[in-house]
Amino acid sequence: MKPVEQRRASPRSHTLLKGHIIYNNQLSRMECTVRDLSETGARLVFAQPVKIPAEFELQVPRKKLVRRAQVMWYDGPNYGIMFVDDAAKARNDSEPPPVAWETSGVPEVLEEACQRIARILGVPAGAIRLTVEFKR
């Protein structure tokens, strides 16, 4: 018996990862399971048959993956998707954008927050240290 011909552009890995599709200008979100994953696409499974947009952003938190994707096929709760962005660019886009701290107003906001927290806690403002973390 001959092996089935592999039609995918890159090898896939069988996975069982929690994912999210983000659409509607990032206002809507739907959970899915990422069952197969490759450099060029994935197979998504939903808890029940659903209608999803033709193009969306796929997020797989455990893999730190954020990619633009489009639906290639579907069968009930299963969707085959192809990534439509460049993988290298997608990885770079997941980094926080560079910020000109001096002109952003953030130092002033942090200083004001330190002062307010210090007053509430009854400690010197120098005892308070705040940090900023970007999340996409």
Q: What secondary structure does DSSP assign to 75-92, as a single string?
A: ETTEEEEEE-S-HHHHHH
Residue 70 has pLDDT above 60, yes or no: yes
- Look up residue 47 and give its two tokens: 């808890």
pLDDT, tens digit (0-9, with 9 covering 90-100), for 12-54: 688 899 999 999 988 999 999 999 999 999 999 999 889 999 9
CA–CA distance, 3 with 49 (Å, rounded to integer): 31
pLDDT, tens digit (0-9, with 9 covering 90-100), for 85-127: 876 556 555 555 555 555 567 777 888 888 888 898 998 888 8
pLDDT band at residue 74 under the 50/70/90 scheme? very high
- pTM of the model as a whole: 0.59
